[in-house]
Structure 1
Amino acid sequence: MREYFIKTKRIGFSVWDAKDLDLATELWGHSEVTKYICSSGKFSKQDIIDRLNTEVHNHVIYHIQYWPVFELSTGELIGCCGIRPYKTESHSFELGFHLREKYWGQGYASEAAKAAVDYSFRVLKAEKLYSGHHPQNKASEKLISKLGFQLTGTVFYEPTGLYHPFYELVNQTIDT
């Protein structure tokens, strides 16, 4: 039984562990999920291992990651959603989410992203969040805008070899 440190109406956030390779493969082993996050469109077995190790490392060092997200009613992996360090800016993170195809179009990405934004601002006291998406990923573009992120320009994203639209969301609850 997994423990959840964030729960919403339908989902629970857990933490990736080095023993989660099967779950990581369930998510990043499908080209529908990875087509917009790497130039080949598909992760190799080593890419999946590397991605899992990155998430575990981020948790150990920074206590954040693109956390695995589970459906509360079934315990099934929906995908991942969370934050990672953003460059060298303190108190600023990059939001991201990857969902298994069977969970697309059901509001899970929005529910998870809202919870991750809330956690980042309320618990971690983040000053800013950033997010980006593949230029062809219209679903991510729509969600990022719906969350209130403002377009700041484009950034070169090495894994795809493309310039991705990039956005910023400022924490309005911090006293300045």
Structure 2
Amino acid sequence: MDYFLSSSRLGFRHWTAADLPLAESLWMNPGVMTHMGGPMTAEQANARLEVERTRQTALGISYWPIFHLVSGEHVGCAGLRPFHDEHRVYELGVHIAPKFWGGRFGEEAARTVIEYAFGTLGALELTAGHGPRNISSKDLLERLGYTFSHEEPWGAQELMHPFYRLKPEQYRR
């Protein structure tokens, strides 16, 4: 497989139309989507795939599919999206398939994306959020150097979700 970005265990590539089964296996998975309002329907997963593909074409960023370099297995997705209308400020997102939980794949993916954002894209700042009960994501963001910024309502239930910010000098390598 051709990857545009990689880490010691993960390869990142762009989504294609043929990736719908991968998108569905990730975004329709109740475990993956527990803290994001629940699993998507097939139609929602297809729409999300198109959003990611369109964002890649228009902006050069997306939540890219990631693969295990040795086995070739689909691990999840990780990447960036624009944060509101702020210039060169992006939101980091990571979704990992349950099979790979506990192996620090989320952290490895996040670090790879952060280094790409600051080093290649010249990002001025990154943001990230998580579900209010997602302690694993909170701990990960803090390990990376993110600092709490604010809470805002998110999702269908309008639950208050914590949001964090990271400047290049705060990043903990």
TM-score normalised per structure 1: 0.93
Q: 1:50 maps to what in 2? A: 47
Change (3 A) 1:31 1:129: same
Q: 1:3 maps to what in 2? A: 2
Contact 2:128 2:165 in 1 (8 A): yes
Q: 2:30 maps to what in 1? A: 31
RMSD: 1.2
Change (3 A) 1:135 1:66: same
Q: Secondary structure at the match of 1:168?
A: strand
Q: 2:11 maps to what in 1? A: 12
TM-score normalised per structure 2: 0.95
Change (3 A) 1:24 1:160: farther
Which segments of structure 1 move beyond 6 Å, counting only runs of 4 or more? none
Q: What does the per-residue CA deviation read over 1:122-169, in whole Å, with 9 as the maximum and x for residues that have no partner?
A: 000000000000001111111011110000111221345211100000
CA distance, structure 1, for counterparts of residue 86 and residue 17 of structure 2? 28
Contact 2:79 2:93 in 1 (8 A): yes
Task: Output the amino acid matched with 1:60.
Answer: T
1:77 equivalent to 2:74? Answer yes
Contact 1:36 1:160 in 2 (8 A): no
Q: 1:93 maps to what in 2? A: 90
Q: Secondary structure at the match of 2:45?
A: helix
Change (3 A) 1:160 1:116: farther
**Contiguous gaps of at least 5 residues in structure 2:** none
Q: 2:164 maps to what in 1? A: 167
Give the superposition deviation at 1:170.
0.8
Task: Output the amino acid matched with 1:61.
Answer: A
Higher helix proportion (structure 1 or 2): 2
CA distance, structure 2, for counterparts of residue 150 and residue 96 of structure 1? 16
Matches for 1:57-72 after TM superposition, within 5 Å? 57-72=54-69
Q: How many percent of aligned residue pairs carry the same amino acid?
A: 36
Task: Output the amino acid matched with 2:9.
Answer: R
Q: 1:105 maps to what in 2? A: 102
How many residue pairs get aligned? The number is 170
Change (3 A) 1:99 1:160: farther
